[in-house]
Amino acid sequence: MAAAGIVLAGGKGSRMQSDIPKQYMELLGKPLLYYALKAFEDSDVEQVVLVTTEGDEEYCKKELVERFGFSKVVSIVAGGSERYVSVWNGLKGLKEQEPDYVLIHDGARPLVTAELINRLIAETEQYGACVAGMPVKDTIQMTDERGTITLTPKRDSLWTAQTPQSFEFSLAYDAYERLMQEPEIHVTDDAMVVGLYHDIPIQMVRGSYTNMKVTTPEDMVLAEAFLKKRG
């Protein structure tokens, strides 16, 4: 069963306080984006579409794909102004190949592993739709618009969603195609999109607490420490 990956690497990373987009900032001498692409290169995924900021396609081709020999990156496409548009562009980039499964990953999560990717593929063969995530460690409080606590959900039922998120390709393609006809719907998550248009249980798959999203300068320090420990 063929699986493909979409790695999202757009955005400017305004919270990073840097003139360099965060996906190109160096971690241990390599661009942050390198690590996610390397995990997909080492996994059972057969092909990868890299979605980048419009205008960065040639840079990514030369400085990432060719420089590091990522043979599974079959195309580099421009993203959009919103994340869901970038995902849709990535899905369209895979339509001709029509893989059985697609894994959608944020390139700002450099600590993803090939092992997790392969596990998600296996779980998606069984469930059809999966999300990497981890149980929350902290108590979560819900508040009203004044900041008053209104609900304290049971912690043992709460997970933090991560990426990759993995789906049967036809499910993801159909859901995003329909979403593009309703752009006023606010979505923040691929599983949220699939769940809007398909009545299918979505399975949570244990990821890792180190599979963090790099957003701030402090995150870069932490990610570097985790990478050093991983070796």
In 3D, which of 90, 85, 96, 108 has the Cα closest to residue 37?
A: 108
Q: Output the CATH code of domain 3-128+162-230.
A: 3.90.550.10
Condensed to tens digits (0 to 9), the pLDDT of residues 157-167 reads 999 999 999 99
* Residue 1 pLDDT > 80: no
| Residue found by looking up tokens 């990497």 in the block | 132
- pLDDT for residue 19 is more than 90: no
Look up tokens 């249980």; give the residue.
Answer: 201
Any idea where the domains of the chain sit in the sequence?
3-128+162-230
Q: What is the pLDDT of residues 37-92, one digit of tens each?
A: 999 999 999 999 999 999 999 999 999 999 999 999 999 999 998 999 999 999 99
Q: What is the mean pLDDT of the chain?
A: 93
DSSP label at residue 65: I
**178 DSSP assignment:** H
Q: How far apart are CA 181 and CA 213, in angstroms?
A: 29
How many whole angstroms separate alpha carbon 214 and alpha carbon 193? Answer: 23
Per-residue model confidence (pLDDT) at position 15: 54
Q: Is the pLDDT of residue 29 over 90?
A: yes
Tens digit of each residue's pLDDT (9 = 90 or more) over 89-111: 999 999 988 999 999 999 999 99
Considering the entire predicted model, what is its pTM? 0.94
Read off the pLDDT of residues 195-218 as tens digits, 9 standing for 90 and up.
Answer: 999 999 999 999 999 999 999 999
Residue ranges with strand state E in 53-157 = 73-78, 101-106, 129-135, 142-143, 149-151
Of 87, 114, 88, 82, nearest to 211 by C-alpha is: 114
Nearest to 218 by CA among 57, 75, 19, 17: 17
Distances (CA, A) of 87 to 51, 77, 81, 153: 8, 10, 11, 31
